Amino acid sequence: MAKLMDSKLKNIIEALIFVSIEPLTEENIRKVLEEFPQEEIDKAIRELLQSFSDNEKGIQVTNSGGGYLFSTKPEYDSWIKRLLHIERKNKLSSAAIEALSAIAYHQPITLAEISALRGVDSSHTLKTLLQKKLIKIVGRKKCPGKPLIYRTSEKFLTYFGLNSLNDLPTQEEISKILEEENNFEK
């Protein structure tokens, strides 16, 4: 009986993720399944993730943007492109990525501060990032000129497959990649 219950809970969560366009947060799952104890829900989520990780399925449940989301498995990329008649996805420009990392690590941040960090006027780049909804305006700074303050958005997290800002590359990872680059150039 208990066994039946578990799989049912797992299926409910699967259905919930299916209808969610935004990443489905654990908080939301708990709200919907309020009559079930926490540990059973956690167990069901683990089982659900497990059941998608084997080779039986073309899609998987990913944990990004602060919640759970269905996505296709990377190895089927070329088939999807065939279906959608897309040759390649647009990548962000290097200026955009650079501005994004400046914002991600120094937020909340103003345009002037971003430009100072990069040594380059970033107003145009910020406009693009706002249009792409990768950053958002969160208010104005209480200083002369009352400049707008920017933060990265939830879409920023999903775009890079991060679950939260804590998942940003760490200082060690950054140092490692910088070292690799140096070695490569030698």
Partner 1 sequence: MESTDSYKVRLEVFEGPLDLLLYLIKKQKIDIHHIPIATVTKEYLEYLNKKKRININREAEFLFMAALLIYIKSRMLLPREKVINEEDPRQPLVHRLLDYQNIKGASAILRKKEDEEHLKWKRTSQPPLLKGEDLELEEVSLFDLAEAFFSLMKRRESQDFRIIKGKEFSVEEKIKEILTELKKNSFLDFLDYFYQQESLEEALVSFFGLLELIKTKVVVAVQEQLFQAIKVWLTKDYYAWQN
| Binding interface with partner 1 (CB under 8 A) | 21-22, 60, 62, 69-75, 77, 80, 84, 86, 89, 91-92, 94-95, 97-98, 100-102, 104-105, 116-121, 158-162, 168-169, 171, 173-175, 177-178, 181-182, 185-186
15: amino acid identity, one letter: A
User: Given the structure tokens 């140092």, which residue do they identify?
Assistant: 175
3-state secondary structure of 94: helix
Q: Which is nearer to partner 1, 116 or 138 (CB)?
A: 116
Structural tokens at position 157: 């997290």
What CA–CA distance (Å, rounded) separates 29 from 27? 5
Q: Which is nearer to partner 1, 9 or 150 (CB)?
A: 150
Q: Which is nearer to partner 1, 36 or 70 (CB)?
A: 70
CB 39 to partner 1: min, Å:
29
Angle at alpha carbon of residue 114, lines to 109 and 119, rounded to 5°: 160
Residue in 63, 4, 71, 56 with CA at minimum distance from that of residue 29: 63
CB 34 to partner 1: min, Å:
27
3-state secondary structure of 151: strand
User: Given the structure tokens 């994004």, which residue do they identify?
Assistant: 100
Q: Which is nearer to partner 1, 3 or 89 (CB)?
A: 89
Q: Which is nearer to partner 1, 3 or 184 (CB)?
A: 184
CB 23 to partner 1: min, Å:
9
CB 40 to partner 1: min, Å:
28
CB 121 to partner 1: min, Å:
7
What CA–CA distance (Å, rounded) separates 157 from 161? 6
